[in-house]
A and B are shown apart, each in its own frame.
Chain A
Amino acid sequence: MAVRREKAERLADEELMPLVGRKDPEAFEVLYDRHGGAAYSLAYRIVGDRAAAEEVTQEAFISVWRSGARFDAARGSVRSWLLSVVRNRAIDFLRSRAGKAPKLTFDDDAALEARPAEERTEDEALRRETAAELRGALGKLPGEQSKVIELAYFGGFSHSEISRILGLPMGTVKGRMRLGLEKIRGELAEGLA
């Protein structure tokens, strides 16, 4: 039975999810109204194209609608979960679009060596990153740390791909990721982020 829109609006996200699992369109609509903007913004940040961002956001929300019961409150908020679904869809979209491009594998060392590391970095980063700057806690990080985090989270690159793009040892890439996240987390804990 569908709850009325007004009732759904009074419910917390965690209370809406069981209703979405029972295929209540009003509950789902409220969920979209609350988080659709952030979801679309994230999709746009990753895919860099409005039409593609629209497609990714729609696919992500439809997957939530059709499998709403998969949300696990023990692992975080509904919003975080929703945005992780959007992020995964957007990265899948990027990878499918890049299907025709040379894949960054160990077999491609020769092609990579033909261009300086700096140039590869800029090409790859620009292709996958369209928003001007990160804000908030990420923006406060040293550039070397925010770069590896951006390439991983918003670009969908693995640590080994990033090490090749930036011309750094894999251990350095993983270390910078760790340091960056620890700094963001530290700021969160202090309530500054």
Chain B
Amino acid sequence: MNAPDHNRWSEDLAAYLLGALERDEAAELERHLEGCERCQEEMRWLEPAVQLLPESVERAEPPSRLRQTLMAEVREDVREAKERPAPARGWRWLLKPAAGIAVVALLVAGVVGYEVGKDGSGGENGGASTVVRQVDGLTVKMVQEGSAGTLQIEGLKPLPSDKVLEAWVEREGEVEAVPALFVPDRHGHAEATIADMTGVETVMVTEEPPGGSEAPTGEPIMSMKVPA
């Protein structure tokens, strides 16, 4: 579908891609883009030209201390994360009625998700296992490598501006948030990393307010049992 004022916005696409529109102009163009396939197509065509610009820069050699300083900060982050106490697990937050209802819905949906998805394909490749299922009208791909996993969802509808997606896992009867919030891109694809898949029985996703929630506040848009 092409919006009726396509021509007006088409003229702004190059300035938008170059970061040269004012913030409110850019926001207005983004709203137009959602409903104008011709503008989306033109933008996809022009985008590689902008991506070429940083490659045209004369090469300057970074000082070696930059790498050293950077990696020292990174390793310090890792060290601090290891020393940080693990988040408490438990059912205490379930005492809140709304949260309790939400988690029951999550767990029930988890079973439904498994039943719907049990015909899905799966496979192993080089130490990584991949499970693909149709769950709640979405295509869900769970890639596990070692103790970590990546949840990829296709077919998501655009989110309201005051919502983000939050992933949850259930293990040993406890539901806990995955510390990563995510949103679908314009193709309806979203992805979240689950750092520790050890013992996870079910993976779920809910819509939450920006910043996420400590406990799910509504029914899941997707819930999938993870094969043992």
**Which residues on A are within 8 Å of B, measured CB to CB?**
1, 18, 21-23, 25, 28-29, 32-33, 36-42, 44-45, 50, 53-54, 57-58, 61-62, 65-66, 68-69, 72, 74-77, 80, 83, 86-88, 91, 131-139, 149, 152-154, 156-160, 162, 171, 173-175, 177-178, 180-182, 184-185, 188, 193
Contacts and interface: CB of A to CB of B under 8 A. Distances in A.
A72 B71 contact: no
Contact of B52 (A21, A54, A74, A137): A137
A75 B185 contact: yes
A181 B49 contact: yes
A182 B46 contact: yes
Range for the number of chain B residues in contact with chain A = 35 or more
B77 interface: yes
B214 interface: no
A89 to B, nearest CB: 13
Given A18-B193, A54-B66, 4 more contacts: A32-B70, A149-B18, A152-B15, A185-B48
B194 to A, nearest CB: 9
B110 to A, nearest CB: 23
Contacts of B185: 72, 74-75
Nearest to B148: A22
A184 B18 CA distance: 13
Given A158-B21, A181-B50, A138 B78 contact: no
A147 to B, nearest CB: 12
Contacts of B46: 181-182, 185
Nearest to B13: A178
Contacts of B192: 69
A181 B51 CA distance: 10
A134 B56 contact: yes
Contacts of A136: 52, 55-56
A158 B56 contact: no
A38 B58 CA distance: 9
B11 A45 contact: no
A interface majority secondary structure: helix
Given A22-B193, A149-B53, A188-B52, A58 B70 contact: yes
Contacts of B45: 185
Given A41-B57, A174-B14, A69 B22 contact: no
B54 interface: yes
Given A132-B58, A149-B18, A152-B18, A188 B63 contact: no
Given A37-B62, A177-B18, A181-B17, A69 B191 contact: yes
Contacts of A62: 70, 73-74
Interface in B66-81: 66-67, 69-71, 73-75, 77-78, 81
Contacts of A58: 66, 69-70, 73
Interface in B164-213: 180, 182, 185, 187, 189, 191-193, 195
Contacts of B12: 174
A61 B70 contact: yes
